[in-house]
Structure 1
């Protein structure tokens, strides 16, 4: 008998036994495994199998076979062997539901999440799959966005841009993507007729379903539209001009997309145009260069950098 088969038979026997079994009882039942003529050899094999199962985390225990503790036997308690029934709170179901919308159709992780959801209480799931939910809480906003992306719906919502402007957007929802701790709804912006990514923490209203949306292009990849760089994460909405000292300009521009460097001036400094998305993120990047970087424009970026420097000096 192969070792794996022997181990499986031993586990099955001890799980189903009504009372703890002595080695003699085990040997008599699993004669193909421990029925050697040499009892000592069979005992050694059993001891090795027992240690192997315990190393695998199987709770094989030696306990008394009766109330007088005269004889001891082996058992595997079912309550210690089997995992408890999985029960999810509505909040946990919400997180799992969003995760199920994120991966590709063949993603094993997505399939596993869906199997977990199948066992949930129907009343709870009804709130998760019945359509967009009107609520301002982040969890239900995630659910509404994920539901829209899954069902290819057209949605309308209020949105604050990275520069603070309040706008209304109508978007054909295509996908959800998490990047750097933030969730993004990726879809076709109907006004701009281009695919854009919208960070959920910048939504200023609930998501309204306005009808059937469109299908994404065959070459669509959500990650292509949630870009990352010194401007932060997301689609850059503007540009900034920053002057760098000659000793760091190569570092500032190395490996970055969308960056354009001009000619060095008489003082050796070079003005570089950088995509601008989140002002705070770009300010943090500029400060990494210390006195070797100066913000030329826009004013709001310069004010952010100066404000942080003042805070450091005051502290």
Structure 2
């Protein structure tokens, strides 16, 4: 199934599930993204009929009816009483498998499409049920920009290249990877595959991917080996790795007590006329410290390493842009 068709079906389900009234085909055409592109009425009705058949084949019950005796055409909706599942009693291993599958639904693209569809329904005057169940439910954050392109590369069987930030020594290197899969381990996302530069399997944490993920070669050239357990590979190689590094920061006088508690004063320095101390502190996970340090704003300036300083600056610039 194409991405465009899948998105259209999700939008159609959201539309019919979120309304209390029957919606005619013409009304659905004007509301649901994907139908307005049909060049003719005949093309739209062919597409709509195929989509209705697809939903019924998936076990989604479509209810046909009219809102009043004055309506001249039938409308459609999905009754929540027929759509919702009854109570399900899962064994612990079954529940764990379902929870793992649900994690993939927390992508910005899917959640954005869901919210956008509901907004369009309300804007079109459709009486949306505020208590309608969410089609897309967030369970695990996938805010890393690299998530979507890496997952697409895995699905397309296509190699990728990207910049990767090493924690120790702090530097960014270019990597070329034949991706086998994207998995979550202990709250972090990893891509596993064959590292062409190292000539061996490797896993990379998505939060350390820097810049754009670029496609290499043609689709269909990468295949995952049958005997590789991706989750086990991450657990044995990348999921438990702990790196420590010494960083140097400037802290304004009387500020950032949380940083000062962990650090040692090594020098005095003025920055832009503000007096402060130069501190050194040891971090076990320096690559994840950018958000913590950026939270102190102008009271803390990262001096070394440059990779961490750049990451903090990018976060502060992004916050300043949102404030405007």
Mark yes or no: TM-score above 0.5. no
TM-score, normalised to structure 1, is 0.35
Work out which structure has the larger RCO, using CA pairs closer than 8 Å and 6 or more positions apart in sequence. Answer: 2
TM-score, normalised to structure 2, is 0.34
Bigger Rg, which one: 1
